[in-house]
């Protein structure tokens, strides 16, 4: 129940009015409205300012296209942008899916065997700290398909947060609960399934949020490096090509789409996280009052 209703209900039945509570309810209401209206307002003003700057300052469109031009270019080039968007989405989502499978599998292996963790964790770190942009040209040489090479690039970037978060999560089970499992003679599988996995879930979902964004960054970097060979990949390749042709309208259109993809991925991951944790985890529980 919202604070406003609560206060309304109590003030309705009782003659006592708590000024502090009323003020708090007012603040909460304003806060809720402002959360949506303020960013929308900022966006409208920015676009307007952009438009005015371009038209009044007579800025040539090959330096900075106005919002109207970008919008019309987006419509005009839709037949080109839409397939590119699909390619980049597929690349990002596949990389993310592989990062989840690989990251979780490795994390489970690491927590099941100390030897495996000692042997391989340093290499996971090395893979992570080596800038992907430096690995991409190599992948392009060794991997036949440009798509697969790009996929590998995006995967390398995305999998580490899932691996490291899930590994910490799997180890974070309550010690007393762990003792209880021992006393009740739990098998390794039972311990993983009923104790370690649920304990790791919030950590994993935190990693997933980061990995979603990183998968997109990995995909964009890969397209920049690998798509340059004229293989014509997704949105990022389109953006790069548009910049070579000084087609800034298309460049901005592609940029807006990439950024929108990032927002959608983040929103999706946040939604998944919220739905999985809302019943029990502190992070997903709204405090009343």
- Those residues whose C-beta lies under 8 Å from the C-beta of residue 15, and which sit 6 or more positions away, are none
The region of 155-163, 187-195, 217-225, 245-253 touching other proteins under the rule CB under 8 A is 187-195
* Residue 143 near other proteins by CB under 8 A: no
Among 19, 20, 282, 288, binds other proteins (CB under 8 A): 282
Three-state SS for 71-91 is HHHHHHCHHHHHHHHHHHHHH
Q: What is the DSSP letter of 284?
A: G
144 is a site residue for other proteins (CB under 8 A): no
User: Smallest distance from the beta carbon of 97 to other proteins, in angstroms?
Assistant: 24
User: Is 55 among the residues that bind other proteins (CB under 8 A)?
Assistant: no
Is there binding between residue 115 and other proteins (CB under 8 A)?
no
> Which one of the spans 8-16, 163-171, 182-190, 223-231 is the region binding other proteins (CB under 8 A)?
182-190
The Cα 125–Cα 123 span in angstroms is: 5
CB of 171 to other proteins, least distance (A): 16
Q: Does 123 bind other proteins (CB under 8 A)?
A: no
CB closer to other proteins out of 49 and 285: 285
Sign of CA dihedral 101, 107, 112, 118: positive
**What interhelical angle do 248-277 and 78-112 show, nearest 10?**
40
Do 91 and 154 form a contact (C-beta atoms < 8 A)? yes
Site residues for other proteins, window 58-87 (CB under 8 A)? none
Query: CB–CB of 152/174 below 8 Å?
Result: no
Exactly one of 5, 118, 174, 245 binds other proteins (CB under 8 A); that residue is: 174
3-state SS string over 109-154? Answer: HHHHCHHHHHHHHHHHHHHHHCCHHHHHHHHHHHCCCHHHHHHHHH
CB of 177 to other proteins, least distance (A): 5
Given candidates 5, 18, 76, 179, which one binds other proteins under the rule CB under 8 A? 179
220's CB contacts (< 8 A; 6+ apart) are 88, 235, 236, 258
181 binds other proteins (CB under 8 A): yes
Q: Which is nearer to other proteins, 120 or 181 (CB)?
A: 181
Number of amino acids touching other proteins (CB under 8 A): 21
Closest CB to other proteins among residues 191, 228? 191
């Amino acid at each position: 129940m919202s604070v406003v209703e609560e206060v309304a209900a109590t003030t309705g039945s009782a003659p006592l009015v708590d000024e502090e509570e009323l003020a708090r309810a007012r603040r909460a209401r304003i806060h809720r409205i402002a959360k949506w209206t303020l960013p929308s307002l900022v966006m409208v003003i920015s676009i307007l300012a952009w438009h005015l700057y371009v038209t009044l300052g007579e800025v040539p469109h090959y330096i900075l296209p106005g919002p109207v031009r970008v919008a019309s270019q987006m419509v005009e080039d839709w037949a080109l942008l839409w397939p590119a968007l699909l390619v980049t989405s597929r690349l990002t989502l596949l990389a993310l899916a592989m990062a989840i499978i690989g990251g979780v599998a490795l994390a489970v292996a690491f927590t099941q065997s100390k030897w495996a963790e000692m042997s391989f964790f340093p290499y996971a770190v090395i893979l992570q700290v080596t800038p992907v942009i430096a690995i991409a040209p190599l992948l392009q040489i060794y991997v036949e398909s440009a798509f697969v090479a790009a996929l590998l690039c995006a995967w390398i970037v995305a999998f580490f947060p899932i691996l490291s978060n899930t590994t910490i999560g799997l180890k974070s089970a309550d010690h007393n609960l762990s003792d209880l499992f021992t006393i009740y003679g739990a098998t390794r599988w039972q311990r993983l399934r009923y104790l370690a996995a649920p304990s790791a879930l919030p950590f994993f979902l935190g990693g997933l949020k980061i990995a979603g964004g990183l998968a997109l960054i990995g995909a964009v970097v890969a397209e920049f490096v690998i798509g340059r060979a004229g293989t014509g990949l997704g949105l990022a390749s389109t953006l790069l090509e548009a910049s070579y042709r000084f087609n800034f309208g298309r460049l901005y259109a592609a940029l807006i789409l990439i950024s929108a993809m990032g927002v959608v991925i983040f929103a999706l991951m946040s939604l998944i996280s919220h739905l999985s944790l809302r019943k029990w985890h502190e992070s997903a529980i709204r405090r009343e009052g």
